[in-house]
């Protein structure tokens, strides 16, 4: 597929919305309605290890003090919190999200610049940041090719892209176990511990988008096609994926 052609991360899921045109409104509404409970369900998902994993991933791609970060699909700021801790400067981390509800949650927790906008059309200047990060939201964009081109555009020469995701395991047993855990147990626990039906729907949707997402190889190819000089993916436990890309030019960061 050519880089200027749309590349959807997964097909239409009619259980949640009738056609592609309705997907953005569905996703935005779902996150608006569940924002205040999102950190709670994240703790259920990660068993409390999420902060450590995000911090390590940011350090591995070279984040350090003095760098500027654009955290796309910031959610409640789970990645941004670690970026602020590493850079030591809240003003060096900019958060963007399409959901007003998620941005409202971030404002309660972090004093950083925030922007409401689409990932496929970032409302920021060219070459404005050293690192673009995205945590577990790649499955919610409308077009992977357009999104990666935007990420490339806003990075300075030598800038780095980091995308954290969960991918369907290759091993059948692990896949079945994850389907039960994310597709059934977590949605049920989310509903029981919060009383919110929308949160149960969110977690079912979370798994369904993982199960139907394009394969990791397609994502890496799309990152390269967007113009990144380097692209790859670090895999842990046949489940957690840290996609990365580096824009050509500039000096590469020194190892810590």
- CATH classification at residue 185: 3.40.50.150
**Does residue 31 fall inside a structural domain?**
yes
Domain count, the chain: 1
**Does residue 204 fall inside a structural domain?**
yes
**Does residue 164 fall inside a structural domain?**
yes
**Does residue 14 fall inside a structural domain?**
no
**Does residue 205 fall inside a structural domain?**
yes
pLDDT of residue 140: 94
pLDDT of residue 46: 62
- How much of the chain exceeds pLDDT 90, in percent? 71
**Does residue 251 fall inside a structural domain?**
no
**Backbone CA torsion sign across 225, 209, 150, 89:** negative
**Does residue 7 fall inside a structural domain?**
no
pLDDT tens digit sequence for 63-75 = 999 999 999 999 9
Whole-structure pTM value: 0.91
Q: CB neighbours of 68 closer than 8 A, spacing ≥ 6?
A: 92, 93, 94, 128, 129, 130, 131
Can you say whether residue 124 is alpha, beta or left, with left for phi > 0 and alpha for psi between -120 and 50 degrees?
beta
**Does residue 51 fall inside a structural domain?**
yes
pLDDT tens digit sequence for 158-214 = 999 999 999 988 888 888 988 898 888 888 888 888 888 888 898 899 999 999 999
DSSP code for 75: T
pLDDT of residue 181: 86
Domain that holds residue 113: 20-246
| Contact by Cβ (8 Å): 85, 16 | no
| Contact by Cβ (8 Å): 44, 186 | yes
């Amino acid at each position: 597929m050519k880089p200027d052609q749309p590349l959807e991360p997964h097909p239409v899921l009619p259980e949640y919305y009738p056609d592609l045109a309705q997907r953005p409104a569905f996703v935005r509404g779902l996150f608006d309605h569940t924002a205040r409970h999102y950190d709670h369900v994240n703790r259920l998902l990660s068993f409390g290890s999420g902060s450590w994993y995000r911090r390590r991933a940011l350090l591995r791609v070279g984040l350090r003090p003095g760098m500027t970060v654009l955290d796309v699909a910031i959610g409640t700021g789970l990645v941004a919190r670690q970026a602020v801790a590493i850079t030591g400067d809240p003003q060096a981390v900019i958060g963007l999200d399409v959901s007003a509800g998620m941005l409202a949650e971030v404002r309660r927790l972090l004093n950083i610049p925030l922007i409401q906008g689409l990932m496929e059309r970032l409302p920021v200047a060219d070459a404005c940041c050293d690192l673009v990060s995205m945590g577990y939201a790649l499955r919610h964009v409308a077009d992977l090719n357009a999104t990666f081109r935007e990420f490339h555009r806003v990075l300075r020469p030598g800038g780095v892209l980091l995308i954290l995701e969960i991918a369907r395991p290759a091993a059948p047993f692990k896949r079945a176990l994850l389907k039960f855990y994310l597709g059934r147990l977590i949605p049920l626990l989310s509903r029981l511990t919060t009383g919110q039906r929308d949160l149960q729907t969110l977690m079912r949707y979370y798994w369904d988008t993982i199960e139907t997402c394009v394969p990791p190889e397609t994502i890496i190819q799309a990152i390269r096609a967007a113009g990144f000089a380097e692209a790859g993916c670090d895999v842990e436990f046949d489940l957690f994926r840290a996609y990365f890309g580096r824009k050509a030019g500039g000096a590469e960061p020194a190892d810590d």
